[in-house]
A and B are shown apart, each in its own frame.
Chain A
Amino acid sequence: MATDVKQYLRPEAPPMPFCPGCGDRILLRLILTAIDELKLNMDDMLFVSGIGCAAWIPSPHFNADTLHTLHGRAIAFATGAKMFNPKLKVMVISGDGDLADIGGNHLIHAARRNIDLTVICANNMVYGQTGGQVAATALKGILTATTTAGNYYRPFDLCKLVNAAGAIYAARYSVTQPTLLISSIKKALQTEGFSFIEVISPCPTQFGRQNRLDTPKDTFKFFEDKLITEEDAKGLSPQELENRIITGEFSNGRS
């Protein structure tokens, strides 16, 4: 686990912008660890991101070709690049608001077309960069800047969504499960076709503050308590599973 990820970071990049306790900083390390373990050449890789905190994971920090795009459109840009130059190994890294709210249409269409992309969605259930508004992935009842009486709506199950659209590999893990997550990222990178990982990446600053979770530790615990493995979830009723976060691989083996 002691991979030196510095070798993959752009030396001239400014200091990282992530708040203390941000899950995205952990995710950055886990992605680079997976790349290191697979011995991928950064010169062959293209990292595409949208707008939001998670979009700043690869841009400007990864020392490779990076394309920081418009809000919601990372997958559309990535599709054009991959289709024109299939030799590029293309990874999309962005947040849940970017990929699932404003960019949801591109997400399902890329899965349907089975474009050979690895999409990593850092899910913190809020819009971190714009002040902590609710996202389409937010659990019911959570407090945000725009749901001060608790979120009324159901969240998207992004893994089910991309699987229904035809994804080859779909998984969900939390940054608090580093070993599982590294192995999942490696699998996704080795998958030919559309692969997707939803990463629970807690946001102590916006999510934590709104939900009266005083420290990053409290925010992490809030999410950890909701995690349940796919195995343990079997046999539980939808009511029992409401507001639980099921982790595991949900690949449907399609091609």
Chain B
Amino acid sequence: MVLKEMKSTLPPGSYYFSGNEAAAEGAIAAQCGYYGGYPITPSSELMHRIASRFRETGGVFMQMEDELASICSVIGAVWAGARAMTATSGPGFSLMQEAIGYAVMTETPIVIVDVQRVGPATGQATRPGSGDMMQAKWGSHGDREVIAISPWSVQEMYDQTINAFNLAERYRVPVILLSDEAIAHLRERMEIRERVTIFNRRKEKGAPPFGAGDDGVPPMPAFGEGERLLVTASTHTEYGIRKTDDPLVQAKLSSRLHKKIVNKRDEIIEYENFYIEDAEVVVIAYGFTARSSLFAVERLRQEGQRVGMIRLKTIWPFADRLIRNLGTKVKKIFVPEMNMGQMAGEIMKYTPCEVISFSQTNGEVIYPYAIMEQLERLL
């Protein structure tokens, strides 16, 4: 059986964690056995907790010399049989992009937590932003599909980190947890259940490690299992033989890497609806901003306004069908974001209905009253 139930690594009950600590615990609960990282604000507490907790769980922790080495060591560890992760913030996430492309091309399941801070460049290291939404999608050269998730609470930093490991294993793809400084440093109560469900790595002796039909996911072998693996991020056949000038092999591989995610998007994508049955104006929000948005929407509902909200839990692959459908039913879509409208632009691609982007990039979270004020003008 591919799914297995495991006992949680921490005793069940309520905990008062920061988002970063919760993500570290989620990784441990998901049987993460290797962490390679490099310090960067505002993600470092995640690494601190892993470093000390791995001494109890037997995981291998490496503080590497830079972000390039961190993510490359993670990929190496995964091929040696580990479930592995790293965490970083914008500048480090930029440095990791080439290796994310490598992980996509070699179908290496890795988890990256990107605790976003406001940029560009060094920006304000201790202040939140959502400026990496598009970098998560387009950060490497060449078309590449990854899965990206946006948690909105400490509970979700835990749950979605476990989910990230499961998705990474199921689809053999990098999964990025697009957190931000506000969620990562927020402390609130969260629950740890008695058991967690883990997706077990699929093994099939002698099966092609890089071939699985038109949109399939091959089994995932490891070094040292006698498979004599040939792993390369150059264009390769289903057994890993490099083919640097064969258009058919290139077309087949790049198409499958795309389709194995996009064709399965209905299984991958998660979102949450609030008050949308009769809504004329719908807020689409994610991450910390969804908390402010929900507060604003509930206040306006109390005043009898027909406003609703959809919270995107999965950012990539994008919920295009959801938006297409929504656009035929509502008058306006309002998208508050801690960036210059990155997801608003994506939403506009899929609906002719009016999409209003509300940007704030001053390094502060967007307050509920700011969203209320904007919505009142639209209603």
Query: Are A79 and B230 in touch, CB under 8 angstroms?
Result: no
- Give 1 or 0 for each of A1-28: 1 = CB within 8 Å of chain B CB: 0000000001011100000000000000
Contact of A84 among B60, B98, B102, B227 (CB under 8 A): B60
Residue of A nearest to B81 (CB): A85
Q: With contacts A12-B241, A60-B242, A83-B60 known, is A76 near B76, CB below 8 A?
A: yes
B104 to chain A, nearest CB (A): 13
- Pick 12 A–B contacts, CB within 8 A, sort by A: A60-B230, A65-B227, A67-B229, A79-B69, A80-B75, A80-B76, A80-B77, A80-B84, A81-B76, A81-B223, A82-B76, A106-B65
Which A residues touch B68, using CB under 8 A?
A: 72-73, 76
Query: Are A44 and B231 in touch, CB under 8 angstroms?
Result: no
Question: Complex formed: what's the CA distance from A125 to B229 in Å?
Answer: 30
A40 to chain B, nearest CB (A): 14
- Give 1 or 0 for each of B224-235: 1 = CB within 8 Å of chain A CB: 101111111110
In this assembly, does B240 line the interface, its C-beta being within 8 Å of a C-beta of chain A? yes
Contact of B66 among A59, A77, A84, A105 (CB under 8 A): A105
In this assembly, does B20 line the interface, its C-beta being within 8 Å of a C-beta of chain A? no
Q: CB within 8 Å of B: which residues of A? A: 10, 12-14, 42-44, 46, 48, 59-60, 63-70, 72-73, 76-85, 87-88, 105-106, 109
Residue of B nearest to A55 (CB): B232
Residue of A nearest to B232 (CB): A68
Query: Are B64 and A76 in touch, CB under 8 angstroms?
Result: yes
Residue of B nearest to A105 (CB): B65
Query: Are A73 and B69 in touch, CB under 8 angstroms?
Result: yes
Query: Are A84 and B224 in touch, CB under 8 angstroms?
Result: no
Question: Complex formed: what's the CA distance from A65 to B240 in Å?
Answer: 11
Contact of A76 among B33, B73, B78, B241 (CB under 8 A): B73
A79 to chain B, nearest CB (A): 5
Query: Are B73 and A77 in touch, CB under 8 angstroms?
Result: yes
| Majority secondary structure of chain B interface residues (helix, strand, loop or mixed) | mixed
In this assembly, does B283 line the interface, its C-beta being within 8 Å of a C-beta of chain A? no
Query: Are B74 and A80 in touch, CB under 8 angstroms?
Result: yes
Query: Are A44 and B224 in touch, CB under 8 angstroms?
Result: yes
Q: With contacts A12-B239, A59-B232, A70-B98 known, is A80 near B62, CB below 8 A?
A: yes
Query: Are B242 and A83 in touch, CB under 8 angstroms?
Result: no
Query: Are B231 and A68 in touch, CB under 8 angstroms?
Result: yes
Q: With contacts A60-B242, A85-B80, A85-B81 known, is A42 near B224, CB below 8 A?
A: no
In this assembly, does B82 line the interface, its C-beta being within 8 Å of a C-beta of chain A? yes
Query: Are A83 and B224 in touch, CB under 8 angstroms?
Result: no
Query: Are A77 and B76 in touch, CB under 8 angstroms?
Result: yes
Q: With contacts A44-B224, A65-B227 known, is A88 near B65, CB below 8 A?
A: no
Which B residues touch A60, using CB under 8 A?
A: 230, 232, 240-242
Listed residue (A48, A85, A109) with the most chain B CB atoms within 10 angstroms of its CB:
A85
B129 to chain A, nearest CB (A): 28
B230 to chain A, nearest CB (A): 5
Residue of A nearest to B226 (CB): A43
In the complex, number of A-B residue pairs with CB atoms less than 8 Å apart: 129
Query: Are A69 and B72 in touch, CB under 8 angstroms?
Result: yes
Sorted nearest first, the 3 A-B pairs with minimum C-beta distance are A80-B76, A80-B73, A77-B76
Q: With contacts A60-B230, A68-B234 known, is A81 near B65, CB below 8 A?
A: no
Interface size class of B (residues with CB under 8 A): 35 or more
Which A residues touch B28, using CB under 8 A?
A: none
Question: Complex formed: what's the CA distance from A83 to B33 in Å?
Answer: 11
Question: Complex formed: what's the CA distance from A169 to B330 in Å?
Answer: 70
Question: Complex formed: what's the CA distance from A223 to B230 in Å?
Answer: 34
Which B residues touch A69, using CB under 8 A?
A: 72, 75-76, 102, 233
Known pairs A80-B72, A84-B34, A109-B69; list 8 more (Cβ under 8 Å): A12-B241, A14-B241, A65-B227, A68-B234, A76-B70, A79-B69, A80-B75, A82-B80
Which A residues touch B227, using CB under 8 A?
A: 65
Which B residues touch A42, using CB under 8 A?
A: 228
Contact of B72 among A10, A13, A76, A85 (CB under 8 A): A76
Residue of B nearest to A64 (CB): B228
In this assembly, does B99 line the interface, its C-beta being within 8 Å of a C-beta of chain A? yes
Contact of A13 among B36, B76, B241 (CB under 8 A): B241
Which A residues touch B77, using CB under 8 A?
A: 80-81, 83-84
Which A residues touch B82, using CB under 8 A?
A: 80, 84-85
Listed residue (A46, A65, A68, A84) with the most chain B CB atoms within 10 angstroms of its CB:
A84
In this assembly, does B79 line the interface, its C-beta being within 8 Å of a C-beta of chain A? yes
Query: Are A66 and B230 in touch, CB under 8 angstroms?
Result: yes
Listed residue (B75, B222, B240) with the most chain A CB atoms within 10 angstroms of its CB:
B75
Which B residues touch A83, using CB under 8 A?
A: 34, 60, 62, 73, 77
Residue of B nearest to A60 (CB): B230
Which A residues touch B99, using CB under 8 A?
A: 70, 73
B residues 212-260 touching A (CB-CB < 8 Å): 222-224, 226-234, 239-242
Question: Complex formed: what's the CA distance from A160 to B228 in Å?
Answer: 35
Q: With contacts A85-B81, A109-B69 known, is A46 near B64, CB below 8 A?
A: no
Query: Are B62 and A79 in touch, CB under 8 angstroms?
Result: yes
Residue of A nearest to B227 (CB): A65
Listed residue (A65, A68, A79) with the most chain B CB atoms within 10 angstroms of its CB:
A65
Query: Are A46 and B224 in touch, CB under 8 angstroms?
Result: yes
Query: Are B223 and A85 in touch, CB under 8 angstroms?
Result: yes
Query: Are A70 and B72 in touch, CB under 8 angstroms?
Result: yes
Residue of B nearest to A41 (CB): B226
Query: Are B223 and A73 in touch, CB under 8 angstroms?
Result: no
Which A residues touch B75, using CB under 8 A?
A: 69, 77, 80
